[in-house]
């Protein structure tokens, strides 16, 4: 399917990444975790680069950095994402990916509102902050990262405040996005819900 775009937005640890990957596999679409772009920029900033220079020099290989899932890089990513010049430098990359032949799924914070406002399907995946913090805490424990639940919750809340409060492309649902609240939903059910919504849209546009 040429040019069929699925935009999936939502806050940290809402499940949007897992849902996006499953949806992409189901339909055979390409998938881009746009958060990795900002994490890669954040990692470069931690190494001493300026945010704008890091964004403008980003190459696909930078997305393979093993550090990108660390809490330090996550915080750095949230900070650089608030820099308008960084967002502008990454827009073309994301839009080009979104229009590729064969369909594409992009997940992030501003896909349905800014990057792909004309996406055929827009989903906003969310969950209560304490639920998202428990998920992230379990993930970090599994990786051997030493932290506490209270620290993870504070981190989630701080990222939410930055993402939702920034002047440039704040995190919010697109007006025509369908909300999926995963607070009390098993991941399989959330994936099934997303797939059903996309199939209905495909059938309507056929």
**What is the pLDDT averaged over residues 14-20?**
96
1 pLDDT exceeds 60? Answer: no
Query: What is the value of pTM for the model shown?
Result: 0.87
Residue 44: is its pLDDT beyond 60? yes
Q: How far apart are CA 13 and CA 104, in angstroms?
A: 21
State how far the Cα of 158 lies from the Cα of 153, in Å rounded to an integer. Answer: 9
Question: Would the pLDDT of 188 be above 90?
Answer: yes
Compute and round to an integer the Cα radius of gyration of the chain: 16
What are the tens digits of pLDDT across the range 66-118?
899 888 998 899 899 889 999 999 998 899 889 888 999 999 999 999 999 99
Return phi, psi of residue 8, to 5°.
-125, 115
Give the helix, strand, coil percentages of the chain, each rounded to 5.
60, 10, 30
Whole-number average pLDDT of the chain: 93
- Lowest mean pLDDT segment, chosen from 6-15, 69-78, 114-123, 127-136: 69-78
Q: How confident is the model at residue 194 (pLDDT cuts 50, 70, 90)?
A: very high
d(CA 185, CA 27): 22
pLDDT at position 166: 87
Torsion of CA 83, 88, 93, 96, to 10 degrees: 140
Decide: residue 133, CB within 10 A, 0-12 exposed, 13-18 middle, 19+ buried. buried
110's tokens: 């501003």
The confidence score (pLDDT) of residue 93 equals 85
- Going by C-alpha positions, the residue among 30, 24, 29, 12 that lies closest to residue 194 is 24
Q: How confident is the model at residue 2 (pLDDT cuts 50, 70, 90)?
A: low
The residues with which 178 forms a beta bridge, in sequence order, are 123
CB environment 66-76: b (16+ within 10 A), e (fewer): eebebeebbeb
- Per-residue pLDDT, averaged over 183-192, amounts to 96
């Amino acid at each position: 399917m040429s040019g069929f775009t699925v935009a999936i937005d939502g806050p940290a640890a809402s499940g949007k990444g897992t849902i996006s990957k499953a949806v992409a596999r189901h339909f055979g679409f390409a998938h881009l975790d746009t958060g990795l772009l900002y994490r890669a920029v954040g990692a470069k900033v931690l190494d001493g680069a300026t945010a704008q220079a890091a964004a403008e020099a980003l190459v696909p290989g930078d997305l393979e950095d093993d550090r990108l899932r660390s809490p330090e890089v996550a915080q750095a990513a949230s900070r650089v994402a608030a820099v308008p010049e960084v967002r502008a430098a990454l827009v073309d990359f994301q839009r080009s990916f979104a229009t590729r032949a064969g369909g594409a799924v992009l997940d992030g914070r501003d896909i349905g509102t800014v990057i792909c406002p004309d996406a055929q399907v827009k989903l906003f995946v969310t969950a209560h902050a304490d639920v998202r913090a428990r998920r992230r805490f379990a993930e970090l424990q599994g990786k051997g990262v030493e932290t506490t639940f209270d620290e993870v919750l504070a981190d989630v809340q701080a990222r939410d405040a930055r993402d939702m409060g920034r002047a440039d492309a704040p995190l919010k649902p697109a007006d025509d996005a369908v909300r999926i609240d995963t607070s009390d939903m098993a991941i399989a059910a959330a994936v099934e819900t997303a797939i059903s919504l996309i199939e209905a849209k495909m059938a309507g546009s056929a």
